[in-house]
Structure 1
Amino acid sequence: MWKAISQVLADQFGAYYNIKQKTPVLSGETHEAWIIDDGIQPVFVKVNEKSYRSMFRAEADQLDLLAKSHTIHVPRVYGIGCSTTHAFLLLEAFTFQTSPLSSDMTEFGEKIAQLHQWKQQDKYGLDFDTWLGKVHQPNEWKTNWATFFSEQRIGWQLQLCKEKNIEFGDVTHITQAIAAQLAKHNPSPALLHGDLWAKNYGATNQGIIVYDPACYWGDRECDIAFSELFSPFSPHFYEAYHRVYPLDEGYAQRKPIYQLYYLLNFSHRYQGEYIEKAQQIIDLFL
């Protein structure tokens, strides 16, 4: 595998990449991660079984898409590839600080607002499906936001919960109730990071770097709602965001609906308290 990685990096950098050091990195629930170094250019490596190549390809494409917005900072993609048994994703490596400065979070809020103002689509979805954590996220294009979110977000997650014997009620009934709540809401499609929470950004000497996206074009409020769910960002982030791109008055009513998507996702991945929190939100709208 390391030989295959060296070859991809040689093609990227225009010179043979001789790996002199390999350091394992604590990663998420899905992939192994390493920092490798040739003495000149460190590289962050995600590794998994060969069948995960399509997931790595989707992640690389999302990072490239976010980079094209010229707003938030994301890692450069150096390449993806396979060995006989493994797939890998090669990304720019960073040295992270213990905590971001207030000025970093202010800039971060401004950059996310600018990302959400980047107008390239008039529909909701994406050209390819993505993943939220290790869970497949369908992104079939729709012209109606209520239809997209109720079916491809809430309905999809409810079905995944049901397959693990986690029941919240009739899937069709709940999906229709969510669609009714969003029926009169027609947000301008914004490119979303899609998995915007405390575990997916870090402070560097270049500012805030954002990674592990679950992109699609949707309601910008989804990003903000998830950022507030578990460990809200610092007030400097939200103040800067609202200054650049104020949220609509109805956000407070829609926020629990958008947070429900993530709670359902966590319910079948981790169970525990997330099931009860998801049920409380569902009960609000039935």
Structure 2
Amino acid sequence: MWKSVSQVLADQFGAYYSIKEKDKVHTGEMHESWLIDDGIQPVFVKTNDKTYRSMFRAEADQIELLSKTHIIDLPKVYGVGCSQNHSFLLLEALQLATPSPEEFAEFGIALAKLHQIKGLEGYGLDFDTWLGSVYQPNEWRTNWATFFADQRIGWQLQICKERGINFGNIEEIVAVVAARLAKHKPTPALLHGNLWIENCGSFNHKIYCYDPACYWGDRECDLAFTELFEPFPDEFYENYHLTYPLAEDYIERKPIYQLYYLLNFSHRFKGHYVELTKRFLELIL
């Protein structure tokens, strides 16, 4: 695999990349991660078996999609590739630190500006993505209520059921969610889609985001996830609202949008997430 990695990096940097150091770093939920160095340019490497190439390609495409806005910061993509048995994603190696409240304040402005980008009239994306380890369909729809109810809540409920977690009648829950959102017609915004404290870090006094799950949808979804587990500092929300104010009834939709992430965490990690999801469902239903 490492010979294939060196070749992709040689194409990227214009000179052969001879790996002199190779250190395994924190392993996430499903991929192995490495930090490699040729003495000049360190590179962060995600690896898995060959079947994961499409997931790595989608992640690279999303990072590049967000980076092209020149609004929020993400690691550079150096390439995606395969060897005989493995696939890999090559990213800029950043020594990330915990962001300060001041950095979050600037990030609040940046995210608001990202959400103001004009897109198409529909909701979805030209390709499907993943939320963590789970496939996320992004078929284009013109109706936000049905998009979110079907492709977000219904999809996650079905995966939960297949993995032995039953939250109730899927059709009924989907219908309630669609009804709750029926009058809400948000302007489609380009979403990071997986925006929580674990996917943000500070480098050179700026916040960098990673592990996106992009699509064009309601900007409130990004905000709702930032508030779910460990909310961002107050300065972030203050600057976001000053730049692009949220509607007062956002508070009514927030638990519906947070439910999507809770369902995802329920079948990935089980435990207390299942009980928390049940409480949210009681509020929504």
Name the amino acid aligned to 1:211: Y
Q: CA deviation at 1:238?
A: 0.8
| Number of residue pairs the alignment of both structures matches | 285
Point out the more displaced range, 46-55 or 114-123. Answer: 114-123
Alignment of 1:266-277 (within 5 A): 266-277=265-276
Q: Secondary structure at the match of 2:228?
A: coil
Q: CA deviation at 1:102?
A: 2.4
Determine the C-alpha separation between the residues in 1 that align with 2:96 and 2:217. Answer: 30
Aligned partner of 1:187 in structure 2 is 186
Deviates most, 271-280 or 193-202: 271-280
Q: What's the offset of the Cα at 1:236?
A: 1.2
Aligned-residue offset at 1:206: 4.6
What secondary structure does 1:136 align onto?
A: strand
**Matching residue of 1:260:** 259
Which residue identity lines up with residue 38 of structure 2 in the other structure? D
Q: Which residue of 1 aligns with 2:149?
A: 150
Determine the structure 2 residue equivalent to 1:238.
237
Q: RMSD over aligned Cα, in angstroms?
A: 0.9
Describe how 1:157-176 pairs up with structure 2 within 5 A. 157-176=156-175
Residue-by-residue CA offset, 1:204-228 (whole Å, 9 max, x unaligned): 1151110000000000000000010
Structure 1: segments with no counterpart, 5+ residues: none
Which position in structure 2 is the counterpart of 1:207? 206
* Matched residue type, 1:131: W
Map of 1:248 onto structure 2: 247
Amino acid at match of 1:42: P
1:250 counterpart letter in structure 2:
D
Q: Which residue pairs with 2:46 in the alignment? A: 46
SS in 1 for 2:73: coil
Deviation at 1:284, TM superposition (A): 2.3
Name the residue aligned to 1:33: 33
Q: Which amino acid aligns with 1:251?
A: Y
- Where in structure 1 do 4 or more consecutive aligned residues deviate above 6 Å? none
Question: Residues 94-173 of structure 1 correspond to what in structure 2 (within 5 A)?
Answer: 94-97=94-97, 99-173=98-172
Q: Partner of 1:217 in structure 2?
A: 216
The AA in structure 1 aligned to 2:63 is L
CA offsets 1:91-123 (integer angstroms, 9 cap, x no match): 1111122x2222211111111111111112211
How big is the shift at 1:279? Answer: 1.4
Structure 2: distance between partners of 1:169 and 1:100: 40
State the match for 2:57 in structure 1: 57
Range that drifts further, 132-141 or 20-29? 20-29
2: CA distance, partners of 1:267 / 1:185: 27
- CA distance in 1 between counterparts of 2:85 and 2:280 reads 43
Q: Which residue of 1 aligns with 2:93?
A: 93
> Matched residues in 2 for 1:17 and 1:214: separation?
30
Q: Which amino acid aligns with 1:91?
A: L
| Offset, 1:274 | 1.2
User: For residues 33 and 285 of structure 1, what CA distance do their matches in structure 2 show?
Assistant: 39
Tell me the distance in 1 between the aligned counterparts of 2:272 and 2:11: 47
Letter in structure 2 aligned against 1:21:
E
Residue 278 of structure 1 and its aligned partner are, at CA, apart by 1.3
